[in-house]
Amino acid sequence: MSSSDLFRAGVSLPRHRGAFLASLLLMLLLSACLFPGPDSTGAVRRATPTGTTVARQAPPLLPGNHPIVDRPVIHNLPPGQALPQDLVLPLTINLLYNDTALERTLTQIYTPGSPLYGQYLTPQQIRQAFGPSEDQIQSVRQWFSSQGYRILGIDSLATSLRVEASVATIEHSLHLQLQQYIYQQAAQLSQKFYLPTGQPSLPAHIASLVQSIIGLSTFGIFQPEKRFQPLVPRVTSSSGSCSKYGAKQALTRAQLATAYQFDQLYQRGLQGQGMSIGILELNEPFDPHDVATYFACAGVQSPSIEVENVVGKVAPGPGEGEAALDIELAGSLAPQAHLVIYQAQEASVQDMLAIFQRVAAENRVTVLSVSYGAPESALSDNEQLSLARALRILATEGISVLVSSGDCGAFSQRVPNLALVEMPSAIPYAISVGGTILQMNAHNVRTAEKAWGRMDGSGSICQNDWGSGGGVTQSSFFKRPSWQVGPGLNSHYDGTAGMILTPDLTPVQAPNGLRQVPDVAAAADNIAIFWNGRWVRVGGTSAAAPIWAAGLALLDQSLRQQHKPLFGSTPTTYRLANHPGSFHPFNDIVSGDNGFYRATSGWDYVTGWGSPNFFSLLQCLLSA
């Protein structure tokens, strides 16, 4: 096959002979190491676009009684009511995938010295090596279609099938019932959702090909991690609006750039040229006039912005301020990067998952900023595992996903004394970003930085919702990764004395052998943005995530220029923290707390490794 034939087939050829040989080595390693054994073991042979034959180990068939449908554990659930039989619901059918082999490959990609180190995979390679066969996909499609489901599509990595059907069809075909509930969380706060009941099942030949079904539980809803306080009255005209930028000592773009060494990257010509930053938004529009005003007052050119509607179309308007915050911070700190706003209509697990899948399929952004979270106890096991698979795939492609760690400190917003971490930040391949309080003087010099924690003083429930999220997950799926090591990670906390409890009502113990968050931190308090016609002071890890996304985009720009691997996912953070050489990649935050955990030397449960020194991070990466 000629190079022109490969181009027409959608195959990207390396520009340099060295890159081609590395790609060929990668395919050979996938064949020889990850999928050993003759065809008699169930391996399926497929020809790659380069002509190399790769043996793909077929994923093990799942037992017919595995939990295809599940629900979160909800205490004191009120009586439910049947859903209308003609109500049409969208569902996500997660297909059988070789997640074990994918995890094994991912470990090698992030392990220095491994033959696969830094050899990120393309979406096509991932689907070919780890995904279901075309026959398996067709079997699932045909069965759901025969039951009366409308097939909406399959993502290009073949991780899931998206369908819709009436409640009557769903209940009949899956052998379950759907009940609607109204859950009273507080005196004036209630939530309406539905859950499956009964003993759901699929025919054995289909159950062996379906990992799970998402969309039958709507209890877990993602919330943006932001807190706004108006600084000045609404601006009725653009004239003179810049005079209030940075009012009441709110942090400006220039101060953030100086504090975190963006300015040193700018001096070397790194401003995001040729880079794309992804921003995830859930039913959250923005007003272009707000964004334009911010950039004019910040003294930088408005960025190139593209809105991609992944699920439905969001009505225009100023939104709740989350999109404005993300765009203004990421776009001003990486002023020449292209911003891709991945938008969905609902704040549901299905829609977040759909955005992750789109980002992985397109593979055109190197970083994705996510400023949304939900208590891990609000998501079912299958929902958590679905998001984990998507994040694992993004990490395999070398895409950095920065996720705010939460704004309620160590606690849940729902139940006093309940310590929780948030999803998806607690998934190992999300770079979990906590918050700090950054102080700058009149000369834009960083004078102090401490953990962000403004709790209500009770130590029980985060009533004012201000504090850097952090702690230990209680999900047994997310073991503490082998790379999550270093000073501070074994600091012990016991919730017995203060009756700080886990969702199963036992005292918190940290560490507990499971994933610990956050990984890093950045300013999450007293930052000036322009939204809904006025300057506001923003707080929340929603600010910290886009700050990190902008910084990593600039690092990736330099790494590409030097023909080095992209920053990638969480393991890189721990590698640099443990082997910084003579550089200082992080500002170690050693004061403050989030209501239970304290900021200490080294890694801690409030700020992770600390806030970034991006130029020093780049020096670490280039010297490796």
Confidence of residue 12 (pLDDT cuts 50, 70, 90): very low
Which pLDDT score, from 0 to 100, does residue 14 have?
A: 32
Residue 302, CA atoms < 13 Å, CB-side half-sphere: 11
How many whole angstroms separate alpha carbon 122 and alpha carbon 399?
A: 11
Which pLDDT score, from 0 to 100, does residue 73 have?
A: 87
Which pLDDT score, from 0 to 100, does residue 76 have?
A: 81
Residue 432 scores a pLDDT above 50: yes
* Average per-residue pLDDT for the chain: 87
Query: What's the mean pLDDT in 62-89?
Result: 84
pTM of the model: 0.89
pLDDT, tens digit (0-9, with 9 covering 90-100), for 342-384:
999 999 999 999 999 999 999 999 999 999 999 999 999 999 9
Which pLDDT score, from 0 to 100, does residue 414 have?
A: 67
Confidence of residue 246 (pLDDT cuts 50, 70, 90): confident
Which pLDDT score, from 0 to 100, does residue 66 have?
A: 63
* 124 and 49 Cβ atoms separated by less than 8 Å: yes
Backbone angles phi, psi at 331, to 5 degrees: -70, -35
Which pLDDT score, from 0 to 100, does residue 231 have?
A: 57
Which pLDDT score, from 0 to 100, does residue 119 have?
A: 96
* Residue bearing tokens 């009756």: 499
Query: What's the mean pLDDT in 15-31?
Result: 37
For 170-188, give the DSSP string.
HHHHHT-EEEEEEEEEETT
Which pLDDT score, from 0 to 100, does residue 504 have?
A: 87
Query: What's the mean pLDDT in 99-112?
Result: 96
206 DSSP assignment: H
How many whole angstroms separate alpha carbon 563 and alpha carbon 553?
A: 15
Q: What share of the chain is helix, strand, coil (3-state, %, to 5)?
A: 30, 25, 45
* 24 and 115 Cβ atoms separated by less than 8 Å: no
Whole-number percent of the chain with pLDDT over 90: 75
Stronger pLDDT, 76 or 497, i.e. the higher one:
497
Stronger pLDDT, 225 or 530, i.e. the higher one:
530
Cβ-Cβ contacts under 8 Å for 267 (sequence gap 6 or more): none
Q: 554: part of which helix (H) or strand (E)?
A: helix 541-561
Amino acid at 63: P
Which pLDDT score, from 0 to 100, does residue 500 have?
A: 93
Which pLDDT score, from 0 to 100, does residue 23 have?
A: 42
Residue 109 scores a pLDDT above 60: yes
How many whole angstroms separate alpha carbon 331 and alpha carbon 456?
A: 33
Stronger pLDDT, 295 or 539, i.e. the higher one:
295
Query: What's the mean pLDDT in 46-62?
Result: 41
Amino acid at 51: G
Confidence of residue 191 (pLDDT cuts 50, 70, 90): confident
Stronger pLDDT, 188 or 450, i.e. the higher one:
450
pLDDT, tens digit (0-9, with 9 covering 90-100), for 521-546:
999 999 999 999 999 988 899 999 99
Query: What's the mean pLDDT in 169-185?
Result: 91
How many whole angstroms separate alpha carbon 249 and alpha carbon 447?
A: 14
Query: What's the mean pLDDT in 577-588?
Result: 96
Confidence of residue 186 (pLDDT cuts 50, 70, 90): low
Burial 589-613 (b: 16+ CB within 10 A, else e): bbebbbbbbbbbebbbbbbbbbbbb
How many whole angstroms separate alpha carbon 342 and alpha carbon 500?
A: 37
* 332 and 294 Cβ atoms separated by less than 8 Å: yes
Residue 45 scores a pLDDT above 60: no
CA distances from 588 to 197, 451, 547, 591 (A): 48, 10, 17, 9
Domains of the chain (ranges, CATH numbers): 3-57 (no CATH), 81-97+132-214 (no CATH), 223-248+277-609 (3.40.50.200)
Residue 462 scores a pLDDT above 70: no
pLDDT, tens digit (0-9, with 9 covering 90-100), for 308-331:
999 999 999 999 999 999 999 999
For 94-156, give the DSSP string.
EEP--HHHHHHHHHHHTSTTSTTTT-PPPHHHHHHHHSPPHHHHHHHHHHHHHTTPEEEEE-T
Which pLDDT score, from 0 to 100, does residue 230 have?
A: 61
Residue 283 scores a pLDDT above 70: yes
pLDDT, tens digit (0-9, with 9 covering 90-100), for 132-169:
999 999 999 999 999 999 999 999 999 999 999 999 99
- The answer for 136, left when phi > 0, alpha when psi is -120 to 50, beta otherwise, is alpha
* 56 and 125 Cβ atoms separated by less than 8 Å: no
Which pLDDT score, from 0 to 100, does residue 489 have?
A: 98
Which pLDDT score, from 0 to 100, does residue 232 have?
A: 54
Residue 237 scores a pLDDT above 50: no
* 467 and 452 Cβ atoms separated by less than 8 Å: yes
User: Per mean pLDDT, which range of 2-11, 55-64, 466-475 is the poorest?
Assistant: 2-11
Residue 296 scores a pLDDT above 90: yes
Which pLDDT score, from 0 to 100, does residue 185 have?
A: 61
